[in-house]
Chain A
């Protein structure tokens, strides 16, 4: 399938990477030629066409002149964390604070590639499957590489802060996390953008967990400007491992989060929680795939959304229980409040169960604020705005509470309160 001229324009100015990444970039380039550009005609992109993104050509930004003075490298007050920070896909070394400890390798992803840490790595195949994945691979930049050795627990979380700035910027950050057997790491993925920023963030994160390993991700998207954000996370889990993600979309012009988790070892447990509160004409899409391939695993998925104004949302939660995956216990819940008449959500749970001795439950709700509860609060002297704020906080409270870093949860709540006038 050939690209439209709009698409050619879109990527024309972008410079492809060289060196060790040339082959990945080459595969990406080839993918751009053969893979279809997502449109409404494709089921996976039906509610999130990228036409509006493609209307303006983007270009990779040059390496920045240091970290921008008006942005906090650590956006979370009180958070004690190691830090790796990026502007427009470029690591800014002087603003990083990398862990140095036995059994821990943490460095810019590009260095790790150069040093051969990813030499035998089986790239997740995203770039062979999806046009936007090919786009990412063709212009892949930098990110974090984190490797935690067997039995090692990272003493502090690592904050990965990506900031987008400028006009029609393309950023293609890529991260890789390896948590070996019985090791433990907590990572915070923070995305910010300057007001007035435009363009695309097209990021990939690949993580693998060994036997008994634990990895937690607190992911926060808080982007000003008009940035199209495509995120793809691919996680594989070994025996008895626990993977957790809390994905909070506080603000974002257009967001598509793809999260794929594959359980490859028995006894694995997965927690996928998220919340989204778009307003104005924002768009937030969460596409998740939970793949149970082996017996005796569990998963718990909970996504909650409140949609204001003329915003749109998508939740697509796919759960596979493969034939071998007996005694799976999978739970999925998606709850939405459409707060204003102009807002909408397309919610689609998809369960494909091939094993016969499993426990799978799922629920999906779309509703409005409970008028009776609102009246009850108001009848006690709580004003309309404060009453709605209490109910919103209650609604997303169980998602917020599960974040591992209290300071991050607190900051998310503060940002939401500012944004929605709760305070």
Chain B
């Protein structure tokens, strides 16, 4: 499974960020054409993102684009542009129902067919309303293109008639629901942005919290948060030791033609091996195994 700890949010109208975001090495860069772009700049930002996606600086980085809703006059134009440019993931602006996903999927399929690409653009649904949270389970499993679901907290708390707090109790139900829905459907779960860029401690606290909850990653608005988040997601030395042991044991068992793998007298089955591989991926990405951070 691909690592998706950090998803850096880059306003399509902020040229300096569009051009330089790759420097910070987020796992996924997410260009925004929706809320952060003023109406008068929609066309220009779309072209900017269209070209950025094709630039070599983003060749080896997973790219996502948050497009405008299909019911707006920009949604279809955004899709036409970024699918042509080879974007990896389309982030749906606001997903309330399964139909929202299926409708987007249909449009994307048409465009892919029209331009004759083999690439199967993935989808990421943003859950930003009470309705979306309630439907999260059915949304998470409605399309094989869906790689994950993400919480969009700012709009969600408005819909819930509350506001964001440092403690985060207002998001408790939504986070739990989204996480469970994603895990049940075997797709990724992403937490919302932490918007107070000055509150470093608050960011660390929240990042640790959502990691412990089980989220795969978090949307970020400040590039400086990336390395902090990656450190938090790094596995402990003990975890890495355990994972290395598991992989070694399973490799040895395979070579010997043994059907059953065990360590310290405990059975090691396929999910445990998968978990160990995942831990090593994380360790590698965190620079603990000589890979790059």
Q: Do A and B bind each other?
A: no
| A-binding residues in B (CB < 8 A) | none
| B-binding residues in A (CB < 8 A) | none
